[in-house]
Amino acid sequence: MHRPVARPARVLAAAVAMLALVACGGQPQDPPTAAQSPGTTPATTAPGEPVIACGDPIEGFAVTHDADGEPIPERTSPTEDVTLLTEPTTAVVADDGVDPVGTAPQPQLPVTVESCDGEVVEVTDTSRILAVDLYGTLAEIVFSLGLGDSVVGRDTSTGFPEAEHLPVVTPGAHDLNAEAILELNPSVVLTDASIGPTEVQLQLRDAGIPVIFFDDARSLDTIPTHIRAVAGALGVPDAGEQLVERTYAEITAALDAAPAAEEAPAIAFLYLRGGMVQLLGGPGSGADSLIRAIGARDVGTEAGLERPFTQISAETIISVHPDVLLLMSAGLDSVNGPEGLSLVPGLAQTEAVQDGRVVDMDDAVLLSFGPRTGRVVAALAEAVYE
Amino acid sequence: MTATATAPDRTAPHPPQSHRGRGWWLITGTAVALVLVCVVAAGAGQLAVPPGEVAGSILRRVDTGLEWLLGAVGLHVDLPLDRITGPTHPQGDAALWQVRFPRIALAVLVGAALAVAGALMQGVFGNPLAEPAIIGVSPGAAVGASLAIVAGLDVLGSWTVPVAAFVAALGTTLLVYSLSRSKGRTESITLILTGVAVTAIASAVVAFNTFIASPTAREQIVFWQLGSLNGARWQAVAVVAPFVVVGVVVSLFLSRRLDLLALGDRSARHLGVNVERLRVLAIVVIALLVGAGVAFAGVIAFVGLVVPHLVRLVAGPGHRLLLPASALGGALLLTVADLVARTAVPFADLPLGMLTSIVGGPFFLWLMRRMRSSHGGWA
């Protein structure tokens, strides 16, 4: 049976030879837009050291320490009694929009950044920014710095009005599509490990675009680090400091409004999807940080959970005795609203559900821990306490 | 198909010429179709590059390569091939060479690997339902991948999950094989049943990993199990290619013995085939092929089942035709499926395994019904 194999074999050999020639062709002729050699005037205030994208979080930011890690005096708690909510409430952030800290700050470029994955990246052009992560934090920071006009695309979690017109780069499944991103021709990509696949982010780097990975942890403590890292990477460190100060002021103001209870209520953060999926938030869920910030106790952390989210059985939720249930709005919808909660075994038997102490909040806003966190804390405190 | 001059003799069995003729057409036809699909796929994607610019980009590289070659032997010529304009979009060249072409190359390699692995399995176990998933290779690979994802391992950077999947695939195959040996022999049924049991255990482990995973890791595991070629880079192609090429070439050498095996274990032994050694060799090749196939692409089911059967329905069960035709057919199927996966929905990338199953399953049912009425069973 040599005849049927010979002809395709010759074609294959020709194809392989062509492939080898093409491989010898090497790199593309035209270098892509970014990553040029720095013949431009160096930034006046840029030090010799690269901006670190993965800085250390400031523990207790806005609760016990200020933006530089210095301890702040303890808040005086109001003496009035605290009453919890009596009917299911949706915590709504007062203003949905983003408040830029200034108008169009001038980036001082080029900037050298040490990305979280160890690569040192040089940013020379910030006219076409793409900031994508699972929670929408990075985009929120970019817009709050006043660089919103330079953004060319957004992720699904970025829903504020100023970004609505931008094409969504991660529909549905939080999965990036390399070609679609390349079509937008970004000049710098800000991202982290919460979104993927990593190979696509690396492909963008292969294409010559500076890709910077930031820390994917999210809590109150990481807010100043993220703001400073993003601002530094985009060449606007002064605007970054302004934003950190403003965010600190907003959060402390919100905390002042939140009464510190003598007996701090126990709040359980639940991730619900239908009746079967019930994940209780524990240390590192993000919500634990917010819950402590409004002077309450996080049930998951106190119960000794070790992971950010744990699938629990119906009996567990009864045994932990939450005073208040905190849910994401999509989770509440998946069980058909507050009425549906009383049909879910386990939840229905908790006092929190029976007495209507259920708070829900929009997913995109609740865990993003960006510059608007002050508003989130205020909204949460207003919903939980009456 | 090929017309015969004489009237068919109903009492005589099918003359081998007609099958051989069909086989020749099948292989050439599939090869041509594959090349055409690759060309179409090279020009289609979410970053629109007109076919002329695609050709221009390729020719510029060929031009540089040829000029370099000629320069190396002392001839400094400026060839006119680079006069053709390349992509006008600033990222067009990068999209073609960093994103699209490695993905097409990987689709061809993975498709060929999975189809040949399926054909080998059906031959070695004499079971038309045999598929890599049945002897536990795919679920085993899922165990490795899910462990790497849940543990957040980063020892090899972005290579960690593929290497874990590959090692797990090999380990599971060898485990199943050694568990099903008795008295120096491995019966088909025992092997398949052991594979079913190991699959059940592997699925349980993956389910546990899914349970303890954070929401992000859980999504990663689920999507790994759905299969995708998103993010294929040349490094992945470079790693997968040797395994696939070696696997397919070695399997071609097994063709004659596999044909004899189809007569039954005893008959094959009487005809001089060392059945046990054949099985071991085939299983190692299968493990390598499927391991390479799933390492970077995740679990893509169904290719190993449908493609060999389609080939058999057209060209008969002879392995000399079946194996190369399956390789080409599998490559063709997966390239088309991947083309749809990455262009169907703007900005999105559909899971590949879902597409191959959704389209292949009903098609296979229809084909079975059609062939059963005219052929009366499996060849």
Given this model, what pLDDT does residue B294 score? 86
**N-to-C CA span, chain B:** 18
Please tell me the distance from the alpha carbon of residue A285 to that of residue A326, in angstroms, as a whole number: 12
Q: Which residue, B355, B317, B348, is CA-closest to B333?
A: B355
Mean pLDDT of A188-206: 88
Please indicate whether, in this complex, the C-beta atoms of B98 and A206 are within 8 angstroms of each other: yes
Averaged pLDDT for residues A162-182 = 82
Q: What is the mean pLDDT of residues B242-262?
A: 93
Q: Answer yes or no: do A29 and B89 touch at CB < 8 A.
A: no
Candidates A146, A143, A180; CA nearest to A161 is A143
Report the 10 Å Cβ neighbour count for A99.
Answer: 15
* Token code pair at residue B293: 């196939």
Alpha-carbon Rg for chain B in angstroms: 23
User: At a CB cut-off of 8 Å and minimum separation 6, what does B229 contact?
Assistant: B103, B106, B107, B110, B296, B297, B338, B341, B342, B352
Residue A29, pLDDT score? 39
- Is the pLDDT at A4 greater than 50? The verdict is no
Instruction: State the nearest Cα–Cα gap between A107 and chain B, in angstroms.
Output: 23
Q: Please say if the pLDDT value at position A212 is more than 60.
A: yes
Q: Does A127 touch chain B (CB under 8 A)?
A: no
Question: Of all helices (H) and strands (E), which one includes residue B119?
Answer: helix B101-125
Residue A22 in contact with partner chain B when CB distance is under 8 A: yes
Query: How large a percentage of chain B has pLDDT more than 90?
Result: 24
Integer Cα distance of B340 and B343 in angstroms: 5
Of A7, A134, A179, nearest to B100 by CB-CB distance is A179
**Tens of pLDDT along B80-89?**
777 777 788 8
Say yes or no to pLDDT of A76 above 50: yes
Among candidate residues A207, A229, A56, A232, the one with its CA nearest the CA of residue A133 = A229
Please give the backbone phi and psi of residue A310, each rounded to the nearest 5 degrees, phi first. -135, 130
| Three-state SS letters, B156-192 | CHHHHHHHHHHHHHHHHHHHHHHHCCECCECCHHHHH
Q: Which segment, A206-210, B18-22, B104-108, B271-275, is predicted with the most confidence on average?
A: B104-108
pLDDT at A1 over 50: no
**Residue A121 confidence (pLDDT):** 92
Over residues B210-218, the mean pLDDT reads 81
The mean per-residue pLDDT over the stretch A325-342 comes to: 88
Residue A214 contacts by C-beta under 8 Å, 6 or more apart in sequence? A53, A54, A115, A116, A133, A138, A190, A191, A192, A226, A229, A230
Contacts of B23 in chain A (CB under 8 A): 1, 4
- Partners of residue A112 on adjacent β-strands: A122
Range in A91-95, A247-251, B257-261 with the lowest mean pLDDT: A91-95
Specify the pLDDT at position B85.
77
CB contact under 8 A, A185 and B91: yes
Instruction: State residue A32's pLDDT score.
Output: 35
Which chain B residues touch A309 with a CB distance below 8 Å?
Answer: 214-215
**DSSP conformational letter for A385:** B
- Which residue in this structure is represented by tokens 């993927």? A196
What is the structure's pLDDT at A213?
A: 94
Does B1 score more than 70 pLDDT? no
pLDDT digits (tens, 9 = 90+) for B268-283: 999 998 988 998 899 8
Interface residue of B57, B61, B103 to substitute, partner A, most A CBs within 10 Å = B61
Find the closest chain A residue to B48 by CA distance: A183
Q: Which residues of A touch B349 (CB under 8 A)?
A: 175, 177
Greater pLDDT, A78 or A168: A168
List, in order, residues 6 or more apart from A229 with CB less than 8 Å away: A51, A52, A53, A54, A55, A214, A215
Closest CA to B174 of B253, B286, B261, B276: B286
Q: What is the mean pLDDT of chain B?
A: 82
Confidence band, pLDDT 50/70/90 cuts, at residue A39: very low
d(CA A359, CA A371): 22
- Point out the residue among B47, B66, B214 whose CB comes nearest to the CB of A308: B214
A106-A108-A110 Cα angle (round to 5): 140
Percent pLDDT > 70 in chain A is 82
* ipTM over cut 0.85: no
Q: Which amino acid is at A130?
A: L
Going by C-alpha positions, the residue among A198, A136, A192 that lies closest to residue A163 is: A136
Q: Give the tens place of pLDDT for each residue, B218-240.
A: 878 887 888 888 888 898 899 89
